[in-house]
Amino acid sequence: MADEKLQRLEIVTPERKVYTEDVRMAVLPGSEGEFGVLPDHAALVSALKIGVIRVHHEGKVFKITVSGGFVEVRDSKVTVLANSAEREDQIDQERAAAAKERAEQRLAAPGPEIDVARAEVALKRALNRLNAVG
Ligand code: ATP
């Protein structure tokens, strides 16, 4: 609709700007659960967990994977600072499958040199990417 209110969504990582667009709504994987943000939302800051941002833009919904980070909402601007983030079309499925395999092998036979918590988080990132494209 022409008169639909929009808000700026910006998603950045330490490496790159992943997305900047005026969108209708963003649904974010907050550390306390998923929540949607529409224009004129109250100001907030929240941690994000590994998950998917659902972007409602020009009548379509698409996904951007994030591997944790923070979101700030203020003055109809949604700023996501993510550890890493990928649009669906940027996800390399083979790479994610290999990362999943590596993490699963480490967790199946965790020797003294294996950081289990790190492998668990790597597995979550890989599964998140695979789920988003699968
Ligand atoms: P890997 O072990 O394959 O590097 P990772 O989960 O450790 O995966 P991250 O540290 O989260 O990777 O991300 C490092 C960079 O690589 C980021 O820019 C991220 O967007 C990118 N990246 C990681 N995995 C993929 C993937 N499967 N497809 C596309 N980009 C990816």
Domain containing residue 82: CATH number: 2.60.15.10
11 inside domain: yes
For residue 101, the CA-to-ligand 1 centroid distance in Å is: 14
The pLDDT of residue 114: 87
User: Which 3 state secondary structure label does DSSP give 55?
Assistant: strand
Spatial contact of 55 and 8, defined as CB atoms under 8 Å apart: no
How confident is the model over 29-65, as pLDDT tens digits? Answer: 999 999 999 999 999 999 999 999 999 999 999 999 9
Q: In terms of domains, do 76 and 12 share one? A: yes
pLDDT at 67 over 80: yes
The pLDDT of residue 134: 85
The answer to whether the CB of 63 is under 6 A from ligand 1 is no
Structural domain including 22 reads 7-88
Q: In terms of domains, do 25 and 80 share one? A: yes
46 inside domain: yes
For residue 68, the CA-to-ligand 1 centroid distance in Å is: 13
The pLDDT of residue 1: 53
Check which CATH number belongs to the domain holding 108 and give it. 1.20.5.440
2 inside domain: no
Structure-token match 């969504």, residue found: 9
Spatial contact of 52 and 63, defined as CB atoms under 8 Å apart: yes
Q: pTM of the full predicted structure?
A: 0.94
Spatial contact of 52 and 65, defined as CB atoms under 8 Å apart: yes
Q: In terms of domains, do 40 and 105 share one? A: no
Mean pLDDT, all residues of the chain: 95
How many structural domains compose the chain? 2
